[in-house]
Structure formats: C-alpha cells, structure tokens
Amino acid sequence: MKKCLIIENSFKEAAVTLGGEIADFLSIRGVECERFEYDGASMRNRRIELPFDGFSFIITLGGDGTVLFACRGCAPLGIPVLAVNLGEFGFLASIQVSRWKEELTGYLEGSAYVSERSLIEAEVLRGGKTVFKTNCMNDIVIAGCSNSTLINLEVAYNHALLGPFKVTGVIVATPTGSTGYNAGAGGPIVDSTMEAMLLTTISSFSLSARPLVFGADGEIAITVLPSRIGVELTADGQISFGLEEGDVIILGLTEYKARLLCSTQEKFYAALQSKLNWAGGPRA
C-alpha cells in the first residue's frame, strides 16, 4: 500500500482545506495519508527534523519554500515530491490548484513525469573536524551578519585558488537555485536539469569578480578569513550556522537527487517567462 505525507504550509489559508480534500481523495484509492503543518517562520529559529522515511511520496501545499523543506529530507531517501502551488507562480511548486487531481491521478497510474534535480552538500570544517553538515536544493550563502559590511573569503575549486574575495557574501547555487538569489545577484540562469554548481559574489569590492559555473564532479572550498563582523552560512534561506575565522566550507554535488513529480521543462520556462516578463517582439 502506498503511503503519502501531505505537508501544509500554515501561512496559506487554503492549505488545510485542500489537504483534507487530497487526503479523502487518496483514502478512497487505498493510499494511507498523514498530514503535517509546516510553519516556515519556525524553520529560521529551529531546525525542523521530520522523519520522511516510510512514505511512498510527498505532497506539498504552499510555495517554493515548502518544496525546498520537503526535498532536502526526501532526496536522500529517493522519495518523490508532488508540489501544489498555493502562492505566486513558482519555479518548484508548479502544479496549479485547479490541476492537482489530474496530476496526482497521473502519478498514481504511473504516467507522471519525474524531474531529477541536483543538490549541494555543505560541510563546515573547524580545526579539521566536521562541526556542521547540511544539503540544499537552491543555494548555500556565506555572508556577513551585517548586510552593509564586507567580509574576507578565500575560494578554491579543486584545490586551484581563485583568489581572496572582499565581498558582502558568496552564493553557491544549484541550477534549480539559479533563478533565486543567484539571479538577483547577477548570476546566470541555468536549465534546472543540468548538473553544475554556480558561484556568484554579492557586492564584490573588485569589479573583476564574475559569476562562475563549475562541473558536477568538482569541489569548492571556501575559507573564512579575518573580517570585522561575524560570518554566517545559510542553506536555502532556511537553515543557518554561525561561522568562525579559519572555518573551511567544502561544497559539492550530492550523489542523490531530488525527484519532483510533474515538474516539466515547459512549466519551468513558463515560470521564467512570467517572472522575467518576457514578451517578445521589438519592444521586449
């Protein structure tokens, strides 16, 4: 028997009602359901550990933030996620409310498209020992605790030194996360199905700093150099960890991938067109 976990974003008024409708729909079809209320605000103050093992698939009711939360836990277990959008036109939560029944039926009948997405694993070494480890589906951001003060970081790729950077921060993003903070900082938008890591600096002191795209098999190492303020690592904008001078952050793609149901390239580019207001024609 299939078993489903429905994650309902507590900030979306329609989530609880829709969650009940979906649970009833699945129950009639012999699928066991559990429901979990996700409070995104609590994520920033405490790390929510939700046991995903034992479920056949996950349904998220919310926006892209809810999907990120689910995929970080589901990807290592190979559990697919079906993301219903209750917010703005999302890149990850791509299933509109009016189509949830059709898309879910397709999955139950074995005809749903599955999009596999890369994740990045970040490991913080302090004195040669691991003090923190997490994965992310969008990005890892290393930045100062004050947005207006520069910090000093040393960045290397596969042991090749790229040079010290005096920046407000550094973003290391997946192709999935290329449309988020990375794009806002001037980084490239990359097709979400590619395997790559993107390195983009935030407000660099040097005009020579440019976004870089690295292959799937490489490893990025970022060392925290002496700075006037504290430095913090943030994963997917949801998990934070305070860094210290001398800490080394090792970043690389994980062996496992997130599995998004019914998230086609057509939907990705439709969201891109909508958010970037691509109109076409001579006045575009």
How do the residues of the chain divide into helix, strand and coil, expressed in percent and rounded to 5?
A: 25, 40, 35
Instruction: Note whether 31 and 2 are within 8 A (CB).
Output: yes
Query: Which tokens hold the place of 71?
Result: 């995929």
Instruction: Note whether 64 and 40 are within 8 A (CB).
Output: no
β-pairing, 239-243 with 57-62? Answer: unpaired
Residue 24 is a catalytic residue: no
Spatial separation of the C-alpha atoms in residues 7 and 59, rounded to whole Å = 6
Collapsing DSSP to helix, strand or coil, 258 comes out as: strand
Rounded to the nearest 10°, the torsion over CA 57, 60, 64, 70 is -50
Q: Where does residue 233 rank: exposed (0-12), middle (13-18), buried (19+ CB within 10 A)?
A: buried
In the set 24, 64, 191, 247, the catalytic residue is 64
Q: Which residues contact 29 (CB under 8 A, 6 or more apart)?
A: 108
Collapsing DSSP to helix, strand or coil, 205 comes out as: coil
The alpha-helical segments, DSSP class H, found in the chain are: 13-28, 40-43, 64-74, 100-108, 181-184, 265-276
**Active-site residue numbers?**
64
